[in-house]
């Protein structure tokens, strides 16, 4: 089953929300069917056949050594070495996921690496699951079904709260992928409660998520502030360094200073700042090397007859 590419700017709002909220550990298959290094490829073939799977991790006591795919089995049958130990022919150069990563990471991995499955490790680097495109599709369908029933239970909506001034502050730490996206999710919830149009909420959520992820990936940590009044939403990200040497260059699509580890996590495409600017009505970035960067995005809210209904 092929995973459908997900573009946050074009996705339905509920799917975007799920991608921010769900973690890899919520979707992965666990416990994992595994082989040990001394098992023969024939044994692995039987594991695949009996369990209707197309890949088997090779692990012992939670330590991952490699992964064998159906292609490895086909080559072994054709080459006449199906009784060889799997350790001789398994793939050892693997791309793995961490269980606390947002589901959006997993989707980006399928699109970037074109693999059918990824081993999932915990913080202790122990094998705890495996993520396939089928897991992603099935889990999203289940979650969408649950969301539908939640929305159905809330209908009809007869009154909406008055639009008040709301300010929320969030502390964002460097490389804190476990909490990445939580601020954007909270902001989306606030706007949804005010009954703003889904397209506008999506713009704010995408800009907020990109700003939050930039703090996690590219900064030394900082603060992210959400401010809403009856006229606008203002998003403000202030980090503690290292600063951007050339802001004009950083705004070019495709330019990135991300290291190889960050790129291996599915980031560093050089699109974050431009995604923020595209979704904002007003955008500003100020940076100084050694001091830090401030990014501000403003999205205007509908007023007058276009505003959401108010409580009588």
94 HSE (CA, 13 A, CB side): 25
| Residues 77 and 215 placed together within one structural domain of the fold | no
162 and 311 Cβ atoms separated by less than 8 Å: yes
Residue 40 has pLDDT above 50, yes or no: yes
Query: CA-to-CA distance for 202 and 239, rounded, in angstroms?
Result: 24
Rounded mean pLDDT of the chain?
A: 81
The C-alpha atoms of residue 17 and residue 171 are separated, in whole angstroms, by 21
Render pLDDT for 136-195 as a digit per residue (tens, 0 to 9).
Answer: 877 776 766 666 556 555 544 333 344 568 888 888 888 887 777 888 888 998 898 888
Is 261 within a domain? yes
CA pair distance 103, 208, nearest whole angstrom:
17
- Higher local confidence (pLDDT), 144 or 57: 57
Instruction: Please report the pLDDT score of residue 10 as a whole number.
Output: 42
Q: Which pLDDT score, from 0 to 100, does residue 304 have?
A: 55
**Structure confidence at residue 7 (pLDDT):** 44
Contact 39, 86 (CB under 8 A): yes
Residue 217 covered by a domain: yes
**pLDDT value at residue 233:** 94
Predicted local distance difference test score (pLDDT) of residue 5: 42
With pLDDT > 90 as the criterion, what percentage of the chain qualifies? 37
Where residue 45 sits, what CATH number does that domain have? 3.10.580.10
Q: pLDDT tens-digit profile of 149-163?
A: 565 555 443 333 445
Counting every residue, how long is the chain?
A: 312
By C-alpha distance, which of 293, 299, 249, 294 is closest to 274?
A: 249
The number of CA neighbours under 13 Å toward the Cβ of 78 is: 6
Could you identify the residue written with the tokens 């990563």? Answer: 101
How far is it, in rounded angstroms, from Cα 116 to Cα 203? Answer: 31
Question: Per the domain annotation, does 154 fall within a domain?
Answer: no
The reply to whether 164 and 279 lie within a common domain is yes
Q: How confident is the model over 259-299, as pLDDT tens digits?
A: 555 555 555 455 678 889 999 999 999 988 988 899 999 99
What's the confidence (pLDDT) of residue 195? 85
pLDDT at 146: 65
In this prediction, residue 65 has a pLDDT band, given cuts at 50, 70 and 90, of very high
Do 109 and 177 lie in one domain? The reply is: no
To 5 degrees, how large is the angle CA 4–CA 183–CA 304? 90
Question: Is residue 127 predicted with pLDDT exceeding 70?
Answer: yes
Check residue 145 and give its pLDDT. 61
pLDDT value, residue 178: 75
> What pLDDT is attached to residue 179?
79
List pLDDT tens digits, range 247-262: 888 787 666 665 555 5
Whole-prediction pTM value?
0.50
In this structure, the number of other CB atoms found within 10 A of the CB of residue 145 comes to 10
- My answer on whether 132 and 165 are in the same domain is no
Number of domains in the chain: 2
Q: Pull the structure tokens for residue 155.
A: 């209908």
Q: Which domain holds residue 118?
A: 13-138
Query: pLDDT higher for 53 or 309?
Result: 53
Cα gap 306→231, rounded to integer Å: 12
Residue at which a domain ends, from 138, 173, 201: 138
Whether residue 93 is found in the same domain as residue 181: no
Placement of tokens 């703003």 in the chain = 196
């Amino acid at each position: 089953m092929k995973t459908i590419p997900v573009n946050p700017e074009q996705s339905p709002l509920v799917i975007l929300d799920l991608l921010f909220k769900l973690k890899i550990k919520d979707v992965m298959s666990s416990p994992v069917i595994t082989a040990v290094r001394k098992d023969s490829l024939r044994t692995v073939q039987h594991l695949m056949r009996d369990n209707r799977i197309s890949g088997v991790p090779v692990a012992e006591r939670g330590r991952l050594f490699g992964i064998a795919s159906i292609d490895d089995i086909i080559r072994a049958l054709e080459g006449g070495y199906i009784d060889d130990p799997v350790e001789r022919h398994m793939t050892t150069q693997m791309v793995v996921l961490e269980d606390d990563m947002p589901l959006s990471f997993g989707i980006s991995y399928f699109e970037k690496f074109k693999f059918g499955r990824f081993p999932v490790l915990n913080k202790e680097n122990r094998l705890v699951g495996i993520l396939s495109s089928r897991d992603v599709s099935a889990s999203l369908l289940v979650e969408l079904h649950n969301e539908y029933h939640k929305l159905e239970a809330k209908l009809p909506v007869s009154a909406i709260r008055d639009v008040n001034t709301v300010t929320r502050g969030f502390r964002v730490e460097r490389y804190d992928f476990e909490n990445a996206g939580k601020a954007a999710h909270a902001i989306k919830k606030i706007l949804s409660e005010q009954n703003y149009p889904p397209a506008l909420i999506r713009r704010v959520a995408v800009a907020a998520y990109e700003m939050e992820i930039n703090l996690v990936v590219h900064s030394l940590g900082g603060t992210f502030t959400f401010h809403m009044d009856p006229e606008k939403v203002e998003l403000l990200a202030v980090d503690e360094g290292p600063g951007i040497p050339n802001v004009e260059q950083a705004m070019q699509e495709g330019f990135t200073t991300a290291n190889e580890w960050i790129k291996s996590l599915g980031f560093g495409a050089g699109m974050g700042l431009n995604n923020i600017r595209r979704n904002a009505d007003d955008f500003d970035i100020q940076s100084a090397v050694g001091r830090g960067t401030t990014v501000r995005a403003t999205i205007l809210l509908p007023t007058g007859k276009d505003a959401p209904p108010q409580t009588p």
